[in-house]
């Protein structure tokens, strides 16, 4: 099979490499993409077909792995696509179903775990009528592809529920530490954490590093999670607040030892004075 990957970021390039190792032809389109993306694609030995139009023409299957806020725009370029379109971004079930209606043969996907450079670390959950066919593509690869059901939206629902805790709680711990700093009791909070909840110090530091590197794309993911909660008649405010936390975080490709100070300083800035 020929699989088109849009766009090969860290996850997309690794997924593409796994598919290529399984014997499939994997293509991507370099038009408008960054040098870093091109380097990742080259390292994964993906074939550059230059344009999305050519990728669409060549591909039997398209695997969409992009920031959540761009998912609908990316899918729009594949409206009426005759192959299978795997929407594997962190989007709400409603967004996944809307995209499936746009592209025709939609498959809902949700990725949990890091980029699949080694086995048993990355799960690709799939739902929809053609989910078993997509799972079969990854047989014997570093990706553990699991079919949930024939119902579009189930894979996205699982991803939303999972990330609601992992990334939502990371935003919360940053907000808590920022509050303590703002009130002048951060040192005392860290001492209490060290005594009663020792894992939280390291968790807050890891959350700050992640927010620096990935907060810009997690903002959209938190908004999709909030929409998922609202769709289930549950309070959406938790994750709308988390979206704001990540939106305030500065963006850096590499997070250094000053990550906590950088993020907390941004969070405690009076945003009203900047508008």
Common-topology check for domains 2-150 and 157-274: no
In Å, how far from its chain's centre is CA 196? 33
Domain boundaries, the chain: 2-150, 157-274
User: pLDDT confidence of 272, banded at 50, 70, 90?
Assistant: very low
Q: Can you tell me whether residue 117 is helix, strand or coil?
A: coil
Q: Angle CA(90)–CA(236)–CA(227) in degrees, nearest 5? A: 40
Candidates 20, 34, 25, 27; CA nearest to 4 is 27
DSSP type of residue 271: G
How confident is the model over 48-82, as pLDDT tens digits? 999 999 999 999 999 999 999 999 999 999 999 99
- What the block records as the tokens of 234 is 């549950």
Whole-number Å distance between alpha carbons of 32 and 61: 21
Integer CA distances (angstroms), 191 to 86, 169, 200, in order? 47, 20, 11
Higher pLDDT, 272 or 133: 133
DSSP type of residue 138: T
Whole-number Å distance between alpha carbons of 21 and 138: 9
How confident is the model over 76-117, as pLDDT tens digits? 999 999 999 999 999 999 999 999 999 999 999 999 999 999
Whole-number Å distance between alpha carbons of 136 and 149: 15
How confident is the model over 15-43, as pLDDT tens digits? 999 999 999 999 999 999 999 999 999 99
Share of the chain above pLDDT 70, in %: 97
Whole-number Å distance between alpha carbons of 233 and 87: 24
Question: Residue 270: its pLDDT value, please?
Answer: 67
Residue 8 pLDDT > 70: yes
Whole-number Å distance between alpha carbons of 49 and 27: 6
Entry pTM:
0.94
Q: Are 87 and 106 in contact (CB under 8 A)?
A: yes
Residue ranges of E strands in the chain: 2-6, 25-28, 47-48, 61-64, 84-87, 106-112, 122-127, 143-149
The domain 157-274 is placed in CATH, from the list 3.40.50.1820, 1.10.20.10, 3.30.360.10, 1.10.1040.10, at 1.10.1040.10
User: pLDDT confidence of 275, banded at 50, 70, 90?
Assistant: very low
Whole-number Å distance between alpha carbons of 114 and 125: 14
The radius of gyration of the chain from alpha carbons, rounded to an integer in Å, stands at 20
Q: Are 268 and 180 in contact (CB under 8 A)?
A: no
Question: Residue 28: its pLDDT value, please?
Answer: 98
For domain 2-150, the question of CATH label 2.60.120.260 is answered with no
User: pLDDT confidence of 273, banded at 50, 70, 90?
Assistant: very low
Give φ, ψ of 125 to 5 degrees.
Answer: -85, 140
Annotate 33-89 with DSSP letters as a single string. Answer: --HHHHHHHHHTTPEE--SHHHHHHH-SEEEE---GGGHHHHHHTTTT-SSEEEE-S
For residues 163-189, average pLDDT: 98
Whole-number Å distance between alpha carbons of 138 and 140: 6
């Amino acid at each position: 099979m020929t699989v088109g990957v849009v766009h090969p970021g860290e996850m997309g390039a690794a997924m593409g490499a796994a598919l290529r190792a399984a014997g499939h032809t994997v293509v991507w389109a370099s038009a408008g993409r960054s040098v870093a993306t091109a380097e990742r694609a080259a390292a994964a030995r993906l074939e550059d077909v230059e344009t999305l139009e050519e990728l669409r023409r060549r591909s039997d299957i398209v695997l969409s792995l992009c920031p959540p806020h761009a998912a609908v725009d990316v899918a729009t370029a594949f409206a009426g696509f005759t192959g299978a379109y795997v929407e594997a971004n962190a989007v709400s079930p409603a967004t996944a179903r809307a995209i499936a209606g746009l592209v025709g043969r939609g498959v809902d996907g949700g990725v949990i775990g890091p980029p699949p450079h080694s086995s048993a670390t990355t799960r690709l959950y799939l739902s929809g009528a053609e989910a078993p066919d997509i799972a079969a593509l990854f047989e014997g690869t570093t990706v553990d592809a699991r079919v949930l059901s024939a119902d579009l939206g189930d894979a996205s629902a699982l991803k939303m529920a999972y990330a609601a805790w992992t990334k939502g709680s990371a935003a919360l711990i940053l907000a808590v530490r920022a509050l303590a700093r703002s009130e002048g009791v951060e040192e005392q909070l860290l001492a209490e954490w060290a005594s009663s909840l020792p894992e939280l110090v390291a968790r807050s530091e890891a959350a700050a590093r992640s927010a620096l590197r990935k907060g810009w794309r997690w903002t959209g993911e938190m908004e999709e999670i909030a929409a998922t909660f609202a769709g289930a008649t549950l309070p959406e405010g938790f994750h709308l607040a988390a979206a704001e936390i990540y939106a305030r975080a500065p963006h850096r490709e590499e997070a250094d030892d000053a990550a906590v100070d950088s993020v907390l300083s941004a969070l405690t800035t009076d945003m009203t004075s900047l508008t």
